[in-house]
Amino acid sequence: MTNTTIAYDEASLAQARRLGTSTLYEASGISTASVDPAIRTVWPGASVAGAAYPVECAPGDNLAIHIAMERVPLGSVLVVSASGFIAGYWGEVLTVAAEAAGVVGLVIDGGVRDIAALTARKFPVFARGVSVRGTLKDSVPSVGRRLNFAGTPVALGDLVVADDDGVIVIPAERVQSTLSDGQARADKEVKMMDALASGRSTLDLLGLSNWRQA
């Protein structure tokens, strides 16, 4: 049975990926929106945007992920808290299962393995580490419920955006305003870069010219 959650239209998701995590983080004004920078892409160039589906695993146990695969809505990004424990919670088998279930990416505060296969399949994975160690399948702390992800609050349906710069989570009620402010910020930076190309300086453009005499 599949849960229902907030679905973002393709235009909004494409805009989020295009703007990127750095711009959207600044536009959000939410300090906790940025996930621990130690959680990074396992292959360069990966990017993803989608509704969060929170999952909590016990250290060294990935049963909750397997349960989530039967409940996760299409287009979701799995956000898996494993308390920073590095083990192979995820690999090629779960990647194939995720693709079949319509999951678009994984963010995990834990470890993954089968990196060559994940890279070949171009499945976006952002993890704290890599480990060949297998996992138990004995417990299910929570599936689909709000959690604290290494200091970042994550609720069902929040917007997850991840790329080479990192991972951010925007609360669902702040998504549209953040996208709008992010676009305005990006448009302003385009004008700034045009001015820089024409010979202006960053000190002038950022109102820092008084520091020339410092």
Domain ranges of the chain: 10-172
Note the pLDDT tens digit of each residue in 159-190.
999 999 999 999 999 999 999 999 999 999 99
pLDDT for position 2: 45
What does 149-184 look like in DSSP terms, one character per residue? ETTEEE-TTPEEEEETTEEEEE-GGGHHHHHHHHHH
Could you name the CATH architecture of 10-172? Answer: 3-Layer(bba) Sandwich (3.50)
How far apart CA 122 and CA 105 sit, in angstroms, is 10
pLDDT for position 3: 47
Nearest to 7 by CA among 144, 183, 172: 172
How far apart CA 34 and CA 77 sit, in angstroms, is 16
How far apart CA 72 and CA 195 sit, in angstroms, is 46
pLDDT for position 185: 98
pLDDT for position 212: 83
pLDDT in tens, the chain (214 residues): 444 567 899 999 999 999 999 999 999 999 999 999 999 999 999 999 999 999 999 999 999 999 999 999 999 999 999 999 999 999 999 999 999 999 999 999 999 999 999 999 999 999 999 999 999 999 999 999 999 999 999 999 999 999 999 999 999 999 999 999 999 999 999 999 999 999 999 999 999 998 987 5
How far apart CA 162 and CA 54 sit, in angstroms, is 15
pLDDT for position 214: 58
How far apart CA 152 and CA 141 sit, in angstroms, is 18
Residue 125: both structure tokens together? 């994975």
